[in-house]
Amino acid sequence: MPETTLPIPPAPDPDWAWFSDIDGTLIELSSEPSALQSRQHLPEVLAPLYRRVGGALALISGRSVANILELIKPFQLPLAGCHGVERRLADGRIIRPVPSPQMELARTLLTDVANGHDGLFLEDKGFALALHYRQAPHLEAICRTAVENATSGDLCWFPGKMVYEIKPRGYSKGTAVEAFMKTDPFRGRKPVFIGDDLPDEDGFEAVRTFGGLGILIGPHRSTKALFQFETVSALRIWLAELPL
């Protein structure tokens, strides 16, 4: 039997805590990783929701915190970048780990691979690296082998949409949710996580441990999310019409 979509989410409660991915979730995927020109009116989407929920809204993305701030400026809010490796708190403080000594070696190895194959692009996020093959799908196996070879020590690799990424172990979108839920204004609320990609599954799992729910954006697949919108535009319409 063909797979069917999950139901759309229930009407939100004013006491929800909101966590959301960006690319493929709040804005359409771009052919240029971490593009800043594709803002797609993101600040205008976020500001009303942020006010309605008393600031209990955080973006949790594979982008770096610096990149996210550029994407949403002049709007500012809690953020987690590089899949949870760095976080910007509600008071503006930024928490980052000590850089991994293995990251420089991985950066060198992946730079050589990207430079040696047309269509590959290495995105350097500082605390994470992403080897994109969206422009050269036939090079997926080369990308996977490259990140496997470049991963050592306290680094780990994981797949995404037409990309393989490397980051320090022990961090994920789920650990970012857990950390935010211990702080105001998220503490004591029911969390919802919105995302589209495989790394977002950690976020879906984390919110369920707090009695919350996940919302998948995109085509149906095996997921820990309970609800779904098939397109970015459908999610944005729903957010604009929230009766909070």
Catalytic residue positions, numbered: 21
**CA-to-CA distance for 230 and 238, rounded, in angstroms?**
12
Tokens standing for residue 33: 């990783």
61 with 21: CB under 8 angstroms? yes
188 with 210: CB under 8 angstroms? no
**CA-to-CA distance for 151 and 96, rounded, in angstroms?**
20
**CA-to-CA distance for 127 and 96, rounded, in angstroms?**
9
